[in-house]
Structure 1
């Protein structure tokens, strides 16, 4: 664990210094990132950390909170719910007010329940969980609560956009195979694929759930896809489970098109090569769809972090910029930061991004965000993974177009 106060250059330091004068007695807001920051599974966690550092830099460049810089504290959860639970206890002991996490719905489920229980037992010492990537539906459904906010998508909104765009492009077909990892996220994706069959005009010819990141040979699954005569495979698979599935499809000579959620994870396009051309993805940001503002964001992010914002980076940045907006509308109470007042401000937050407006829905604390459906193409403006391919926008959905209703199972209870 280490404490970090990032700023964006001399101007930011000067601004923070001016604003801090006369407010030294005010409390600092502390944001804690609880992610996998070491070991073989650290790649995703490190991306969330980089994006959080960039966003906190921007918040501090605008004065932080009440003239004091926001402090970013980092905790290594070592890859699982148990480690995350332990690090949450440490963060609470360190006086952290806001927790950021995204790289696993299993970890997210642990953290949201631990945060809920802590807040019930410690009125006046509440903390907020800022969910920037754990997309299991239950987190804004039966497990929703006042101190949890999600800034990424979920299976229903992503699949809805994916199906609509692929159908409009004439790339969906009438026979769809659903294959997913067997845990909450994969189960949500399977259900979303079934739910969108009627509006998409397709039949789900078969559904498969498999172990997570344990399958080395997807040939038997590909044989099933071929036997089902599927036009399209819709999958929420990520990492090797997506790459190996696509490779096995090519090896079998199938020309089945893929509709994906995580094809933009770093390394996927480089590893897949030309196999990926023509496949689709529903993602939370596409710089080409954002025009001049998209290019400006990419250039600034690359300058300050050394890499372009891809995969989960943009949603993390935009989510924390919403946090910064809410912080600007919360005043100290006796020199201290009121977490419940912050949460109420965050419920009403709206910001503009290169792809459109993002707002927070108070009913279930699910961010309403624009989604872009793209196809892998050599004609894309922005290339990825040092290849000649990138993600060419097919359709940009506004937040309102992409949204699905709040789940009836969310019974939001607000502090009196």
Structure 2
């Protein structure tokens, strides 16, 4: 009996020890995630662009979290994960402002947005006012796609950082190819009627005038953003103009529907685009786009080199559906720069983080970029590609399962892609 009692006491002691250990483990504070607010069109005509961005940002944060998260002195266990929270702007500026207020109320201090320079402009203004009014709740704005040059020039802000090449930088890269294409003697300019679309056409005229004064601009047209369902009338005018090429900054459905209409009316000229390499445009053109659609980007899947190839293949493994094939290196570099800067700042303090971001310099899979402190414009290499069939020389990878990809025809180093800035920033 005594033996059984002694054994029971041993078991009880062991159980108590286990419970104590379990309690201690439960008492251990879990590291609070660093919340990132993604404000994008997640419904409406440009929902596909918002969802595509979301996949990119999530994949980038997964990479950071897989290596332990962001190491901060005050974090439980020494590190904190990144967490992306979605806010639907519905493609409307007022909705984006409401989303910004909701994100701030939810305790988010890092805001991300990019698809629409008009939205970016109102967010910058709202964040400037908020940060002045409530210094204890200051937020930073990371921009990955809004490329109106004004955002890092006249409207530059200490709280805003742009990780995409702006429209003038992209236009200069395209002009490198147009300058050598002596078969083009006439060009039609068409774009979306808002700040970015207007900036693209304005800069196209300026750069054509200085670099290809022999080229005639036979059309210069703006159309409503996201509201045109039938681009046939525009395509008919482009064809009737006799233009041998089109320059457009259109994106999303406004680009897909435009190139599809051009194909349907039999237009055979070239398209020089900012975003013709994804979101349905190659599939819409099919064989009609081979050798005729030119796109400028920060990176393309067929950029030569094993690191670039491995990067793209890892994205395809994470998102195997062809329709999800929309990967942008700049979004990955942006999140890497954020993680680096959080660790350099040693905290999530907004001012300290902004100062650290000004010094960000990152590399990933053979690509690199650095933030320019003077205007918060990220400096990176650019590439220009021409659409071709998968399997053609230089086209190992297609996009979106379309059977068409982009062969890289020009690589522009970061120091060659750089443009001057007129920013007069108020610093903190």
TM-score tier after normalising by the smaller chain length: 0.7 to 0.9
1:185 aligns with 2:196: yes
Aligned to 2:51: 46
The match for 1:239 among 243, 246, 252 is 252
Q: Distance in 1 between matches of 2:104 and 2:274?
A: 34
Instruction: Verify the 8 A CA contact 1:177 1:230 in the aligned structure 2.
Output: yes
Aligned to 2:179: 167
1:270 aligns with 2:283: yes
Query: For each residue in 1:162-188, what CA deviation from the matched residue of structure 2 results, as whole angstroms up to 9, or x when unmatched?
Result: 1102433x3662322211111111101
1:143 aligns with 2:119: no
Query: For each residue in 1:138-165, what CA deviation from the matched residue of structure 2 results, as whole angstroms up to 9, or x when unmatched?
Result: 2212221000001112211111101102
| Further displaced range: 183-192 or 350-359 | 350-359
Q: Distance in 1 between matches of 2:93 and 2:264?
A: 37
Secondary structure of the 1:59 match is helix
The match for 1:199 among 211, 218, 229 is 211
Q: Distance in 1 between matches of 2:86 and 2:267?
A: 45
| Further displaced range: 159-168 or 217-226 | 217-226
How high is the TM-score relative to the length of structure 2?
0.84
Query: For each residue in 1:266-321, what CA deviation from the matched residue of structure 2 results, as whole angstroms up to 9, or x when unmatched?
Result: 22212221122121011121122141111111122222233578556332222111
1:367 aligns with 2:378: yes
Q: Distance in 1 between matches of 2:183 and 2:204?
A: 12
- The CA deviation at 1:355 is 5.7
1:304 aligns with 2:321: no
Higher Cα radius of gyration: 2
Q: Distance in 2 between matches of 1:173 and 1:33?
A: 41
Number of residue pairs matched by the alignment: 389
Instruction: Verify the 8 A CA contact 2:46 2:226 in the aligned structure 1.
Output: no
Q: Could you say what the CA RMSD is over the residues aligned between the two structures, in angstroms? A: 2.6
Instruction: Verify the 8 A CA contact 1:264 1:311 in the aligned structure 2.
Output: no
Secondary structure of the 2:410 match is strand
Aligned to 1:396: 411
Instruction: Verify the 8 A CA contact 2:32 2:81 in the aligned structure 1.
Output: no
Aligned to 2:343: 328
- The CA deviation at 1:25 is 9.3
| Further displaced range: 364-373 or 23-32 | 23-32
1:283 aligns with 2:288: no
Q: Distance in 2 between matches of 1:256 and 1:343?
A: 45
Aligned to 1:19: none
| Further displaced range: 140-149 or 295-304 | 295-304
Secondary structure of the 1:146 match is coil
Secondary structure of the 1:329 match is helix
Q: 1:171 to 1:307 in 2, by over 3 A?
A: farther
How high is the TM-score relative to the length of structure 1?
0.86
Q: Distance in 2 between matches of 1:276 and 1:99?
A: 37
Secondary structure of the 1:288 match is coil
| Further displaced range: 194-203 or 267-276 | 194-203
1:317 aligns with 2:332: yes
How do 1:89-128 and structure 2 match up within 5 A?
Answer: 89-128=101-140
Q: 1:411 to 1:47 in 2, by over 3 A?
A: same
Instruction: Verify the 8 A CA contact 2:39 2:86 in the aligned structure 1.
Output: yes
Q: 1:248 to 1:27 in 2, by over 3 A?
A: closer
Q: Distance in 1 between matches of 2:92 and 2:57?
A: 20
Q: Distance in 2 between matches of 1:414 and 1:23?
A: 40
Secondary structure of the 2:359 match is coil
Stretches of structure 2 that go unaligned for 5 or more consecutive residues are 1-26, 73-78
Query: For each residue in 1:333-378, what CA deviation from the matched residue of structure 2 results, as whole angstroms up to 9, or x when unmatched?
Result: xxxx211111111111111244632111111111112111000001
Secondary structure of the 1:328 match is helix
1:386 aligns with 2:423: no
1:351 aligns with 2:356: no
Q: Distance in 1 between matches of 2:135 and 2:388?
A: 53
The match for 2:100 among 64, 85, 88 is 88
